[in-house]
Structure 1
Amino acid sequence: MTERETDLQSFLSWFQRGGGRIDTSAMGFCYFSQAEGDRGAVALKDMPEGHVLFTIPRSLTLSTRNSSLPKLLGPRVWKEKRMDKGWAGLILCMMWETAQGLSSKWQEYLETLPTTFETPMFWDGIDLEELKGTYVVDKLGKEEAEKTYNETLLPVVESRPDLFPADSIAVHYTLEQYHVMGSRILSRSFDVERWEGEEGNETEDSEVADTSMGSAMDVDLPTSSSADNPNHEDPENENSDDEEEDEVDVSMVPVADLLNARYGTENAKLFYEPTELKMLTTKPVKAGEQIWNTYGDLPNAKLLRRYGHVDVLELPGGGKGNPGDVVELRADLVVSALPPTIPKSKVQEIIDWYLEEGGDDVLVFEADMELPSQLLTLIRLFLLSPEELKKVQDKGKLPKNKVDAPLLDIVIRALQMRMQEYPTSIEDDETLLTGDLSLKKRNAIFVRLGEKNILRGALQNAEAIRSTLAEQPSDTKDKEKGGNKNKRKTSSDGPASKKSRR
């Protein structure tokens, strides 16, 4: 048995001593290759849907609720210092529990967590250049995270030398450790719903809302998606500040975070009960198959940003990539594609009203390459006459997606401008993939190539519709065409998708 396998067995023994239960006849954990951290779970026998793989006491999860640090600091100080907002509190708890060493309940668990990451948060400037054209770098939130560390977390640490000895700060409470703990949460945590019957009322089993950072921020902004990312949180998670404070605990869940994930493979999911969590199969699993606890079929841009990997599968139309890829088009780029004849004052008035009416400032193209309805709606607003615009505003209702040549001209210009944001062409990227590449460069190429293929398909779609309109008799050109697709939110995570992992 290798040293890594010995460490894994030691951790599993700790888990069972802490009250966790594993069906060792049905599932085993192992390393799949020599790559560090490449571990997961495999079925040891055929299992039906609903089979309980393992059970985790709530007391064994690591959260601000279970760590003793918030009580030692005091509830008033904890809230005054905003440790109850976002991830700052959990990061501090994880730092503190690590500093306690053997006296921490989670010491053996914490030792199993990664200390290095392949996520862009830890890339240097040269590597980040490979992501130019994607919006991945804008969503890292590194500067805002470091601001929170310096202005929020570090002052708390320095104010209590009885809890945080001065000689431990340079070891356990550094900026580097802050990023490591934040990345552990981003890649491995679950949103564990709190049991409403905690005082003794019985409830039926419910599925855990297990989205990595689950209900924290998921904000898309036109220029910097990380602007409201104060606590090393996932800047794409939209419900953080609006979430009821007591609905969920962002938690590290031992053993559950050992399961891997891949597009379209989920066969297990975490469920919660009053005092424990259970991992159950969601479909029949054959002996020898890997057990996957997927967090939603995310695009490669999110997979790379959160977990440091991409999914590369055979695509329905040929080639390889991620069937769940999307590409974002910011509304400010659409504005740049407008004809110069539209007054700037009108443009600003429309943007303000559009946003007030719930319009999105980021438009999303999916793998089917259809034109998003909100994109067509936004452009249509700019093309309305003053009288038509006033009528729409008076009704307080966005106009229908009437597709015509002027609208499609703007769509095509915007897509061409978006494509030009990438420094390489599709052909360049395909050629690069045939060479010897570092893992970071390879992953970055798959991210940008997936996005560019969608843009190219959407561009071809828009040009085809315009050609069709040009060939139609004039009395039929005003009919609505295409683009009635409902826009999917850029948060691909879904309220019950998996933790932020790998």
Structure 2
Amino acid sequence: MASRAKRPKVESAETPKNPEQKIEEALAQFLDWCRQSGLELSPKVYVSKEGTVADYGLVAKDEIEEGELLFSVPRSALLSQHTTTIRDLLKKEEAALESQSGWVPLLLSMMFEITSGESRWKPYLSLWPGFSTLHHPMFWSEEERNRLLLGTGVALAVEKDLLNIEEEYNSIVLPFMKSHPDTFDPRKHTLDLYKKLVAFIMAYSFQEPLEDEEDDDDDEKAPNPPMMVPMADILNHVANHNANLEFTPECLKMVSIRKISKGEEIFNTYGQLANWQLLHMYGFTEPYPSNTHEAMDIRMQMMYDAALQAVRTEAERKLLMEKWEFLTELEIVGEEGEFVIGQSGVLTEEELYSTLKVLSMTMEEFEEYKANDGWEEDEEEDDDLSSLANTVIPNLKPAWKQLLRNTVTMRLKSYSSGLKEEEATLANEETYRQLSKRERDSLQVRYAQKMILHRLLQLTA
């Protein structure tokens, strides 16, 4: 978040304010705005940059019991497409603003409010002057991403993001702004600002969960649009969090979910996210092994490539192709599909189990299996072993373990460095301390993923 505030338009003869003073003033103005907006903050907590893992955070002033209300935010204080000053315009042009991301209305709301001197959210938005402290890899150079994040999946995700952002801005946002010159100015509401706001919303927005109601309609409901929740977005994230955000018709409430000691930082959760996802979407990581949601992906196509390496004859190659096509038709594998491996085992168990089974079949077994459309008369053995937890993997059939091992070995080759290099850097405190934040975050992502892969190597030995 903010490390310095905007420079005043006019400098007086008074002593210039240092960055710390500006931060304190911005925070004081925000807290005053919160009170005026009906946001109620418990006397047991306070906002601070001291004693927090990163930037602003919420800290316990006194001991807090489980179930205590830490603060509540009235829905009138939320910043969304439904509360912004230009909400009527956005509603009127709703059809023209539809996009794959679904974020365009909020992004336009933010673009208008952030550049409006009269915005009622100005004290809130002033906490992030210029969005200069966004650490997302989308703001790194392409060379940095490729050098530090090769093999992690982050660089590819960022490339897709950047292409989608530019496409969305040029095809939807820019034409909309040009058709409403009294409200928007492309010279001020630029692609660069739009990109920063995408990262800001990615890192700080909230989406209200859909109501769990039975619906006879087979169509899936569209997710609720994102919204900005002042105060809630100040809380930092850890996997082992101590507070949760609750949604009610009148307000949003942050509630403690366990006892919190005096001086302890209060953490929300952004979801069950691996380090590569945290870095991609939020610009930070949790040092290994504190992230209990750590996981990594292996492209499904990589298992086919690993199986292909073991092929010795044209007949074997043709049979492998038929097996893969069959798995594709059953929608077990796909061109963009991925197997997800967590710390305690495979998270996409059904997909990986079925793929290992089919690719390891003899021709006769596959023909019988295919004739039954993927069903087997006696599934007792499959039911017993269909779990792919770490405790089960050593007991898999030798052919299955070998295929999995070959795939893992191939996946490890996608990185530019080895596990021993990462371990040496982490073990040397002086070396680690000299790394930049980008280098440290990238190292944490690579190391956590490689630890999962090397554990699989041990389990399939």
Normalising by structure 2, we get a TM-score of 0.80
Look up the equivalent residue of 1:59 and give its one-letter code. Answer: S
Secondary structure of 1:169's aligned partner? coil
Aligned pairs for 1:71-220 within 5 A: 71-75=88-92, 77-82=93-98, 86-102=102-118, 104-113=119-128, 115-116=131-132, 117-128=134-145, 129-140=147-158, 141-164=161-184, 168-171=185-188, 173-193=189-209
- Please state if 1:56 is matched with 2:73: yes
Letter in 2 for 1:163: T
Give the 5 Å matches for 1:89-488. 89-102=105-118, 104-113=119-128, 115-116=131-132, 117-128=134-145, 129-140=147-158, 141-164=161-184, 168-171=185-188, 173-193=189-209, 244-245=221-222, 248-264=224-240, 266-313=241-288, 315=289, 322-338=291-307, 339-340=310-311, 341-343=316-318, 345-355=321-331, 361-369=337-345, 373=349, 374-397=351-374, 400=382, 403-433=396-426, 434=428, 435=431, 436-463=434-461
Show the counterpart of 1:226. none
The answer as to whether partners of 1:98 and 1:107 remain within 8 angstroms in 2 is yes
Secondary structure of the equivalent of 1:162? coil
Deviation at 1:390, TM superposition (A): 4.5
Q: For 2:321 and 2:100, how far apart are their aligned partners in 1?
A: 42
**Relative to structure 2, which stretch is displaced further, 365-374 or 271-280?**
365-374
Asked if 1:27 is matched to 2:45, the reply is yes
Asked whether the 8 Å contact 2:327–2:333 carries over to 1, the reply is: no
Give the unaligned 5+ runs of structure 2: 1-19, 213-218, 377-381, 387-395
Output the CA distance in 1 between the equivalents of 2:291 and 2:375.
33
Which string of whole-angstrom CA distances, capped at 9 and with x for unpartnered residues, describes residues 203-262 of structure 1?
xxxxxxxxxxxxxxxxxxxxxxxxxxxxxxxxxxxxxxx7524x6341100011111112
Q: Per-residue deviation at 1:192?
A: 2.2
Q: Which has the higher contact order (CA 8 A, sep 6+)?
A: 1
Whole-Å Cα distance in 1 between the matches of residues 455 and 56 of structure 2?
Answer: 37
Q: How many residues align?
A: 403
Higher helix fraction (1 or 2)? 2
C-alpha displacement at 1:405, in angstroms? 2.3
Q: For residues 59 and 387 of structure 1, what CA distance do their matches in structure 2 show? A: 66
Question: 1:310 corresponds to which letter in structure 2?
Answer: T
Give CA-to-partner distance per residue, 1:100-149, whole Å, 9 cap, x none.
222x2212211213603111111102311210011111222211221111
Query: C-alpha distance in 1, partners of 2:123/2:115?
Result: 13
* TM-score, with length taken from structure 1: 0.74
What is the CA–CA distance in structure 1 between the aligned matches of 2:244 and 2:135, rounded to whole Å?
Answer: 25
Cα distance change on mapping 1:262 and 1:382 into 2, 3 Å = same
Give, as a single letter, the amino acid of the residue that structure 1 aligns with 2:456: A
Q: CA deviation at 1:371?
A: 9.2
1:283 aligns to what SS in structure 2?
coil
The alpha-carbon distance between structure 1 residues 142 and 288, as it changes in their structure 2 partners (threshold 3 A), is: same
Moved more, 351-360 or 322-331: 351-360
Range with bigger deviation, 329-338 or 386-395: 386-395
- For the Cα contact (< 8 Å) 1:370–1:461, is it kept in 2? no
- Partner residue in 2 for 1:12: 31
Cα distance 1:58–1:74, how it changes in 2: closer, same or farther (>3 A)? closer
Q: Does the CA-based 8 Å contact 1:342-1:382 persist in structure 2? A: no
Give the unaligned 5+ runs of structure 1.
Answer: 197-241, 316-320, 464-502
Q: Report the CA distance shift for 1:305/1:92 in structure 2 as closer, same or farther (over 3 A).
A: same
Distance 1:84 1:18 in 2: 33
- Kindly state the Cα deviation for residue 368 of structure 1 after the two structures are TM-superposed: 2.7
Q: Any idea what SS the aligned residue of 2:226 has?
A: strand
User: Cα RMSD over matched residues?
Assistant: 2.8
**Which residue of the other structure, out of 51, 59, 83, is the alignment partner of 1:42?**
59
User: Structure 1 residues 390 and 120, CA, compared in 2 at 3 Å: closer, same or farther?
Assistant: same
